[in-house]
């Protein structure tokens, strides 16, 4: 097969970047038995700028605001346990706005609902009300806010906040999440409630969003 000048070089660079990131993120994958084959991403998906893998890789270069940064925890530091890309919706419902006369309504957050993807572009789990993340019956975690809450605005006006969360008190993270101390929501796209308020108490709305979730433990 004949490649035009520069075409082979560009393909090689894309393949190199993805393979390097895949190795670096190997610890992010769900633990599998020694005889189970780990799926790999196709070159097409790996090179796509809109694939879960591409978003996960790009998120590693983001400047993380201090408010949602994982503490350094010196001298031993931290280790990343898993990183997933979420695609789903943020759910809202109508409620009566406090003190409104005549009665007016506003949107109130209900819960997230999203699918989780790993660095190989495989759907591996779900994210839902709680909030919780699960990648199998034996790998799940619930989270809650720190006090005070640690948040930072999304990079775009329509994007939900970035967050730093902790495991939910009274719950026990399991499987690969067993030792997790911090959950970050970063690189958000969309998800904010509509600017137009509801007009009826029974109204609901699902707003599409995407995000990267990081799970980190102290060493």
DSSP notation for 61-116: TPPPPGGGSPP--TTT-EEEEEEEEEEEEEEEEEEEPTT-SS--EEEEEEEEEEEE
Model pLDDT for residues 62-117, shown as the tens digit of each residue = 999 999 999 999 999 999 999 999 999 999 999 999 998 899 999 999 999 999 99
pLDDT of residue 47: 54
Lookup: tokens for 44: 């097409």
Between 85 and 13, the more confident residue is 85
Q: How confident is the model at residue 45 (pLDDT cuts 50, 70, 90)?
A: very low
pLDDT of residue 204: 98
Query: What is the average pLDDT value for the chain, to the nearest integer?
Result: 85
Model pLDDT for residues 122-135, shown as the tens digit of each residue = 999 999 999 999 99
Residue-range domain boundaries for the chain: 7-31+43-218
- Per the CB < 8 A criterion, the answer to whether 218 and 70 are in contact is no
């Amino acid at each position: 097969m004949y490649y035009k000048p520069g075409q082979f070089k560009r393909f090689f660079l894309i393949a190199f970047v993805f393979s390097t990131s895949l190795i670096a993120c190997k610890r992010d994958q769900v633990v599998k038995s020694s005889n189970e084959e780990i799926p790999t991403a196709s070159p097409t998906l790996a090179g796509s700028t809109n694939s879960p893998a591409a978003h996960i890789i790009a998120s590693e270069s983001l400047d993380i605001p201090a408010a949602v940064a994982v503490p350094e925890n010196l001298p031993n530091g931290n280790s990343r346990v898993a990183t997933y890309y979420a695609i789903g919706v943020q759910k809202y419902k109508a409620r009566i706005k406090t003190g409104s006369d005549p009665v007016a309504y506003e949107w109130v957050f209900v819960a997230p609902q999203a699918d989780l993807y790993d660095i190989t572009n495989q759907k591996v789990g779900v994210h839902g009300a709680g909030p919780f993340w699960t990648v199998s019956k034996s790998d799940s975690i619930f989270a809650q806010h720190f006090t005070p809450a640690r948040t930072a605005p999304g990079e775009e006006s329509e994007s939900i906040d970035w967050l730093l969360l902790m495991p939910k008190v009274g719950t026990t993270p399991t499987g690969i999440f067993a030792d997790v101390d911090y959950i970050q929501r970063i690189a958000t796209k969309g998800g904010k409630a509509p600017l137009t308020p509801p007009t009826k108490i029974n109204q609901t709305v699902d707003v599409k969003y995407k995000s990267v979730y990081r799970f980190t433990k102290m060493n």
